Amino acid sequence: MPSSPPVYLDNHATPCVDPQVLEAMLPYFTEVYGNAASKNHVYGRDASRAVEDARADIAKAIGAKHQEIVFTSGATEAINLAIKGVAQATPENKRHFISVVTEHKAVLDCFQWLEENGCETTLLPVDTDGLIDLEELNGAVRDDTALVSVMAANNEIGVLQPIEEIGKICREIECYFMTDATQALGKIPLDVDKMNIDLLTCSGHKLYGPKGVGALYVRRSNPHVKATCQINGGGHERGFRSGTLNVPSIVGFARAVKLACSGMKKDQTRIQKMRDTLQRALLEAIPDAKVNGYLEQRLAGNLNISCQGVESEALIIRLKDTVAFSSGSACTTASIQPSHVLEALGRTEDEIYSSVRFGFGRFNTQKEIEQLAPEITEAVMELQAFAF
């Protein structure tokens, strides 16, 4: 008999596509296969209608207008379009940009690009729980600040930043507020008007949708956000982003958003119970175990934990046939550099290299977590005994 596959607990990197999402996508590969820009015949018009319906569904999920949604190849492209686009569209007296040291690499690399292209940047620190200080943000904003970019939910430690309060500060000084909501969409309530968000980035594959599709919300009024196109060639998406639209994935993305938002409270309550089960088991059995990030203001499905004396890669190998998880964000696991997020929290080198991230999702069950908890605990304790 073949052995069972390992339990998947790397849902922050990507969960599987929900079967209902796949079902919604399939007709757009073989039946409604027209180019959404070819509106002179029924095939193109049907594809265009599907795209606009999807745009409306995604807009509704964040309290936006459908015209404010720009489809992209994913959150990374959306982030590049937002940050570089705003920088190129703003006047010379608005050349200062603010973000946070724990942001996703897509944001941090764009901020490096800003520096190389004549802009001034400020990266705010975080406390030992991963939260920014609003007073420090107040002190950092200036008359020439063009944009403040703060992610809603951290991809490594799951910490939720005070987005609504940040939005108020930005509105008061009349600068744009951008948030990377890639990990947050469908997991916490988002409202661009209530939170004074001017630009928001997200991706389909983080909420049981397909890979290779994302979106950028760009506010059209109060204020009207100006951003320069980064991909030229046809003027698609109202001139923000050229290229033939990925209709099947856009349809799947919208379906995934609707499913996540309609079942958000129930899903997240169940997921948090699983997270808490494993967290409690590890903390009770392993005296030196430490959760990374704020314990309360955190994504329901996130558990980033350090176990002294146990290298994360050794634990991953030890449990490779039992459970799939990671040592950090999927975008940086190929690098030997320590997590910039955990460094920002003030973790020691040993704590950083002993940290692992468990990401719980819709298709995990309480039963499998209860069965896994003692196996993971035993593996940690065996490796600790070997190390000491």
Whether pLDDT at 279 is above 90: yes
Architecture category of domain 19-262 in CATH: 3-Layer(aba) Sandwich (3.40)
Q: Does domain 7-16+264-387 have CATH number 4.10.220.20?
A: no
Residue 331 appears among annotated catalytic residues: yes
Q: What is d(CA 156, CA 166) in angstroms, rounded to the nearest whole number?
A: 21
Per cent of the chain over pLDDT 90 is 93
**Is the omega angle on the peptide bond into residue 248 within 30 degrees of 0, that is, cis?**
no
pLDDT score of 330: 46
Of 125, 82, 119, residue with least CA distance to 103: 125
Q: Which residues contact 216 (CB under 8 A, 6 or more apart)?
A: 69, 70, 72, 78, 81, 82, 199, 200, 201, 240, 241
pLDDT score of 336: 61
Looking at 43-47, 210-214, 285-289, 320-324, which range is the least confident one? 285-289
Domain locations in the chain? 7-16+264-387, 19-262
Of 85, 106, 352, residue with least CA distance to 228: 85
pLDDT score of 3: 74
Q: Let me know the angle formed at the C-alpha of 108 by 244 and 337, rounded to the nearest 5 degrees.
A: 110
Distances (CA, A) of 147 to 82, 84, 94, 173, 346: 10, 11, 9, 10, 27
Other beta carbons within 10 angstroms of residue 265's beta carbon come to 10
Mean model confidence pLDDT for the chain? 95
Per cent of the chain over pLDDT 70 is 97
The helix or strand, by DSSP H or E, that contains position 28, with its residue range, turns out to be helix 27-30
Q: What is the pLDDT of residues 165-197, one digit of tens each?
A: 999 999 999 999 999 999 999 999 999 999 999
Whether pLDDT at 1 is above 50: no
Of 299, 316, 300, 313, residue with least CA distance to 376: 316
Distances (CA, A) of 55 to 65, 209, 214, 215: 9, 15, 11, 9
pLDDT score of 335: 55
Tokens matching residue 223: 């204020």
pLDDT score of 329: 46
Whether pLDDT at 54 is above 70: yes
Q: What is the pLDDT of residues 190-237, one digit of tens each?
A: 999 999 999 999 999 999 999 999 999 999 999 999 999 999 998 899
User: Do residues 345 and 129 touch, judged by C-beta distance below 8 A?
Assistant: yes
Q: What is the pLDDT of residues 95-126, one digit of tens each?
A: 999 999 999 999 999 999 999 999 999 999 99
pLDDT score of 385: 86
- For 211-239, b/e burial (b = at least 16 CB within 10 A) is eebbbbbbbeeeeebebebbbeeeebbee
**Catalytic option among 110, 175, 261, 331:** 331
Of 157, 379, 387, 386, residue with least CA distance to 286: 379
pLDDT score of 338: 87
Whether pLDDT at 2 is above 70: no
Q: What is the pLDDT of residues 310-345, one digit of tens each?
A: 999 999 999 999 999 998 644 555 556 789 999 999
Secondary structure of residue 379 in the 3-state scheme: helix
Determine the residue type at 178: M
